[in-house]
Amino acid sequence: MADKPISDNLERLSLNSNGDSVVKSPFVLCFGELLIDFVPTINGVSLAEAPAFKKAPGGAPANVAVCVARLGGSSAFIGKVGEDEFGHMLADVLKENKVDISGMRFDSSARTALAFVTLRADGEREFMFFRNPSADMLLRESELDIDLIKKAAIFHYGSISLIEEPCKSSHLAAMAIAKKSGSLLSYDPNLRLALWPSANAAREGIMSIWDQADIIKISEDEITFLTGGDDPYNDDVVLNKLFHPNLQLLLVSEGSQGCRYYTKQFKGRVPGLKVKPVDTTGAGDAFVGGLLSRLASDLNLYQDENRLREALYFANACGALTVTKNGAIPALPTIDEVERLVSEVAA
């Protein structure tokens, strides 16, 4: 069956007669990849040196969905896995974490994506991906759950789903539906150069949807990459090259140091929380999940600097707790753990 074009999908949106958006539920809908991360059983070695690996569910958009749910929020996931043992395991993990998987699809012709991830002794992460093609790359526009997209308060996505067709067209269609129905668009590029044909293709692909997002989270390394080598700590670089007219909130994650924020009205920095790091995998996704869980129930939060700073401190705490355990989804914190850490630091 041929995929329906984006225009057909948009026509199916039932907008109110006064032109306002459809009624939104306070949930975060995450779109993109869901995969198995294989992490070494010991830290500080290269992939070649690792004696054994432990499987852990991962994939940035799925991590965010689980994080939101663990924090007491409401979330859903749209993506595709293989009709295989790993695919069903991942679906079960999302269900166990109270993520709505009604928009998830299974492909009998492709395997679930795999990634081997390690933190080397020099602190750099090393990735090796198995997706030639994997099921997540094969999500078709005709498989999108349009009603689910229309209801979301926030539609969150990355850039990996832009690399290959048909997933790229499905991603663009889902974004268009979410935008038309009044969802806030949240973008974390989550640069993985090894997956793109070239550095230029990665830069062009990531920037091709840049000006549509309401909220963007990037790392210091991604600023340097996207600007062609500019200083990631320079506010003028961020504001002149990356802040676009439609953007409501631009966030720069700084790892253990916390984060910076930029809006049309103000900018600033929120410090991180000190913890003993074990594995940084998933920390950025936990930060995003922490913020979006707050934003979904208070969509104008970014307009009030005090409320925004409180939400970002909470998000920093989510990221900090995640680095104290191995893996991505297994390490994501609960609301009780975050509140305990925040109160301990304040004491």
Distances (CA, A) of 18 to 15, 257, 326: 8, 46, 50
User: Has residue 3 got a pLDDT over 50?
Assistant: no
Q: Is residue 333 part of a domain?
A: yes
pLDDT for the residue 22: 65
**pLDDT tens, 27-61?**
999 999 999 989 888 888 889 999 999 898 989 99
Where is average pLDDT lowest: 34-48, 73-87, 105-119, 294-308?
Answer: 34-48
Q: Could you tell me what percent of the chain has a pLDDT over 90? A: 78
Q: What is the pLDDT of residues 227-275, one digit of tens each?
A: 999 999 999 999 999 999 999 999 999 989 999 999 999 999 999 999 9
Amino acid at 294: R
Residue 11: the pLDDT is: 45
Q: Is residue 342 part of a domain?
A: yes
Q: State the CATH number of the domain containing residue 324.
A: 3.40.1190.20
Q: Look at residue 80 and tell me if it is in a domain.
A: yes
The active-site residue out of 37, 100, 214, 285 is 285
Query: Structurally, how many domains does the chain consist of?
Result: 1
Domain membership of residue 7 (yes or no) is no
Question: Quick check: is 49 in a domain?
Answer: no
The tens digit of pLDDT for each residue in 184-224 reads 999 999 999 989 999 999 999 999 999 999 999 999 999 99
Asked if 264 and 43 count as a contact pair (C-beta separation under 8 A), the reply is no
**Helices 60-70/85-96 angle, 10° precision:** 30
Residue 9 has pLDDT above 60, yes or no: no
Q: In this predicted structure, what is the pLDDT of residue 20?
A: 46
The answer to whether position 308 is within a domain reads: yes
For residue 194, tell me if it sits in a domain.
Answer: yes
Distance CA 200, CA 204 (A): 6
Check whether the bond before 133 is cis (ω within 30° of 0): yes
Beta strands in 48-187 (DSSP E): 53-58, 74-82, 100-107, 114-119, 125-130, 152-157, 184-187
pLDDT of 175 higher than 60: yes
Q: Which domain holds residue 294?
A: 27-32+59-109+143-346
Percent with pLDDT over 70 in the chain: 93
Confidence of residue 16 (pLDDT cuts 50, 70, 90): very low
Beta strands in 125-220 (DSSP E): 125-130, 152-157, 184-187, 215-219
Does residue 25 carry a pLDDT above 70?
yes
List pLDDT tens digits, range 137-149: 999 999 999 999 9
pLDDT in tens, 287-314: 999 999 999 999 999 999 999 999 999 9
pLDDT of res. 123: 63
Mean pLDDT, residues 72-93:
97
285 is catalytic: yes
Asked if residue 163 belongs to a domain, the reply is yes
